[in-house]
Amino acid sequence: MSKEPVAVVGIGQTKHVAARHDVSIAGLVREAAARALADAELTWADIDAVVIGKAPDFFEGVMMPELYLADALGAVGKPMLRVHTAGSVGGSTALVASNLVAARVHRTVLTLAFEKQSESNAMWGLSLPVPFQQPLLAGAGGFFAPHVRAYMRRTGAPDTVGSLVAYKDRRNALKNPYAHLHEHDLTLEKVQASPMLWDPIRYSETCPSSDGACAMILTDRAGAARSPKPAAWVHGGAMRSEPTLFAGKDFVSPQAGKDCAADVYRQAGITDPRREIDAVEMYVPFSWYEPMWLENLGFAAEGEGWKLTEAGVTELDGDLPVNPSGGVLSTNPIGASGMIRFAEAALQVRGQAGEHQVPGARRAMGHAYGGGSQFFAMWLVGAQEPTS
């Protein structure tokens, strides 16, 4: 039995900003969904099911908000699923939707992820009360900074690598009209002089807190044939999880991330990711995670990731552009960030990424992670329908 090929035929995002005071939560998600439908030239009636994802419900103060959002997303009378896998959720949500088509349970599915972080304070929302977590951890940066330090010690990477990533991603964001941060006057010197938040992570090397939503229309082979615009085809997708803490856990390069990438490459027939993949949208909420994930995902040998960054390989005009959209460092509605990675990868192979298009991109990877570097979701999309 073979799976149904899955195609992305519609993509919609909101303009991501610090606070969307002009719309309700329903208004925010509907804006992205309507744009995805318009991109696909489909209507609400063409949608068989809705799969929605977001990070913790505490961020908006609404328990299981998909119940309230059923109307706004045209889901009444249809199946609606709500995924929550921490920071990887946007990617996981897309994969759950993709499986509905691949399994031939549904033909055309709307998938959407969002966060309206201005409804609360995400940093403290992620800082669990004692006894769940030690005091003064202060947000995700407090959790991840020691692991960045471990990476620097392990590889001998120079202190400046993180600032190079931040400067690159923020400049890429200037070419992406949907990105939250558009810092026209940013310089590398300013990044390097910005305040130290969680040593070694500086203010300009951290993600913003955003309101935003991202939606995609996934469909089967017949749906793709009717699509007026080029489709992005799913060549592989996988999720992997491991526990938060255990003796021997490698926080710098978690096994779950390696296994997840290996599964995706196997499905997609990729043997040399560095050569065969044209663009990567990876989940880099703190600058140093670019070199760390380059190694974890097999784009560089262990200890060598920072050298790619330093040599400019991951620049928009490098031979492995990473986060041409500006990435999580420029836009971070947490629950949506994974789906934005997946959608931006699809935009690249559809040739519709506008000013941040990687010329001739044929295969692109979307990557998301969450929790304590323990949940991973990835997909690989291509301009051609998969042959197997």
Question: Would you tell me which residues interact with another protein (CB under 8 A)?
Answer: 1-3, 24-25, 55-58, 60-65, 67-71, 75-86, 92, 96, 99-100, 102-105, 125-126, 128-129, 132, 238-244, 246, 254-256, 259-260, 263, 371-372, 374-375
Question: Nearer to another protein by C-beta: 56 or 298?
Answer: 56
Q: How far is the CB of 387 from another protein (least distance, A)?
A: 17
Helix (H, G, I), strand (E, B) or coil at 208: coil
Report, in Å, the least distance between residue 240 CB and another protein. 5
Q: Which is closer to another protein, CB of 209 or CB of 309?
A: 209
CB 125 within 8 A of CB 137: no
Which of 200, 236 has the CB closer to another protein?
Answer: 236
DSSP character for 287? T
The residues facing 49 across adjacent strands are 109
User: What is the widest separation between alpha-carbon atoms in the chain?
Assistant: 57
Q: In whole angstroms, how close is the CB of 84 to another protein at the nearest point?
A: 4
CB nearer another protein, residue 163 or residue 374 = 374
Cα-based torsion angle of the residue sequence 81, 87, 90, 96 in order, rounded to the nearest 10 degrees: -50
Whichever of 61 and 269 has its CB closer to another protein, that residue is 61
For the CB of residue 380, give the shortest distance to another protein in the complex, in Å. 15
| Contacting residues for 114 by C-beta, under 8 A, at least 6 apart | 25, 28, 29, 32, 52, 54, 212, 213, 214, 333, 335, 336
Q: Which amino acid, one-letter code, is at 261?
A: A
C-beta of 69 vs 320, nearer to another protein = 69
d(Cα 115, Cα 56) in Å, to the nearest integer?
Answer: 9
User: Smallest gap, in angstroms, from Cβ of residue 89 to another protein?
Assistant: 9
Of 58 and 203, which has the nearer Cβ to another protein? 58
The sign of the CA dihedral 223, 229, 233, 237 is negative
Tokens at 172, concatenated: 């890429």
State both tokens at 111: 């998938």
User: Which lies closer to another protein via its Cβ, residue 299 or residue 375?
Assistant: 375
> Which is it for strands 201-202 and 108-116: parallel, antiparallel or unpaired?
unpaired
For residue 66, the minimal CB distance to another protein (Å) is 8
**CB 132, min distance to another protein, A:** 6
Tokens 């044209």 belong to 278
Give, in order, the Cα–Cα distances in Å from 173 to each of 9, 34, 203, 212. 24, 23, 17, 15
Shortest Å, Cβ 68 to another protein: 5
Q: How far apart are CA 313 and CA 355, in angstroms?
A: 19
Tokens 């329908």 correspond to 385
Helix (H) or strand (E) holding 281: strand 279-281
Nearer to another protein, 99 or 323 (CB): 99
* Residue 295: CB minimum distance to another protein, A: 17
Of the chain, the end-to-end C-alpha distance in Å amounts to: 12
Residue 122: enclosing H or E segment and its boundaries? Answer: helix 122-125
